Amino acid sequence: MNSSTAAGPAPDLSNPAFAAHSDALATLVERVAVSTFAVRGRRGTLATAVIWQPGLVVTAAHVFRRAPAAITLIGAEGQSVEATLVGLDSSTDIALFRLAVTDATAFPPVATGDGAGVRAGQLVVAVGRSGEGDAIASSGIVNRAAGPWQTWLGGSLDRLIRLDGGVYEGLSGAPVADARGAVIGLATAALSRSYGIVVPTSTVARVVAALLANGHIARPWLGIGAQPVPVAGETEAQAATTGLLISSLAPGGPAERAGLLIGDIVVRAAGQIAADLRALRDALAAHVGRAATLSIVRGGVAREVEVQVGEWPTERRFC
Alpha-carbon distance values, 161 to 125, 135, 172, 182, 183 (Å): 13, 24, 15, 15, 13
- State the average pLDDT for the chain: 88
Contact 103, 130 (CB under 8 A): no
Phi, psi of 243 (to 5 degrees): -130, -175
**pLDDT tens, 103-113?**
777 889 999 98
Q: What is the pLDDT of residue 236?
A: 45
Q: What is the pLDDT of residue 233?
A: 62
Percent of the chain beyond pLDDT 90?
A: 64
What is the reported pTM?
Answer: 0.76
Count of positions (residues) in the chain:
319
Q: What is the pLDDT of residue 4?
A: 44
Say which residue, 307 or 77, is predicted with more confidence. 307
| 3 state DSSP class of 30 | helix
DSSP state of 316: -
What pLDDT band is residue 77 in, cutting at 50, 70 and 90? confident
Residues β-bridged to residue 231: 241
Q: What is the pLDDT of residue 12?
A: 59
Residue 100: count other Cβ atoms within 10 Å of its Cβ.
Answer: 15
DSSP state of 28: H
Question: Does 127 have pLDDT greater than 90?
Answer: yes
What pLDDT band is residue 232 in, cutting at 50, 70 and 90? confident
Burial of residue 228 (CB within 10 Å: 0-12, 13-18, 19+) is: middle
Domains by residue range for the chain, with CATH: 16-217 (2.40.10.120), 220-311 (2.30.42.10)
End-to-end CA, the chain = 80
Alpha-carbon distance values, 170 to 1, 48, 70, 131 (Å): 55, 6, 19, 8
Contact 184, 201 (CB under 8 A): yes
Question: Does 308 have pLDDT greater than 80?
Answer: yes
**pLDDT tens, 181-214?**
999 999 999 999 889 999 999 999 999 999 998 8
Strands 241-249 and 265-269: antiparallel
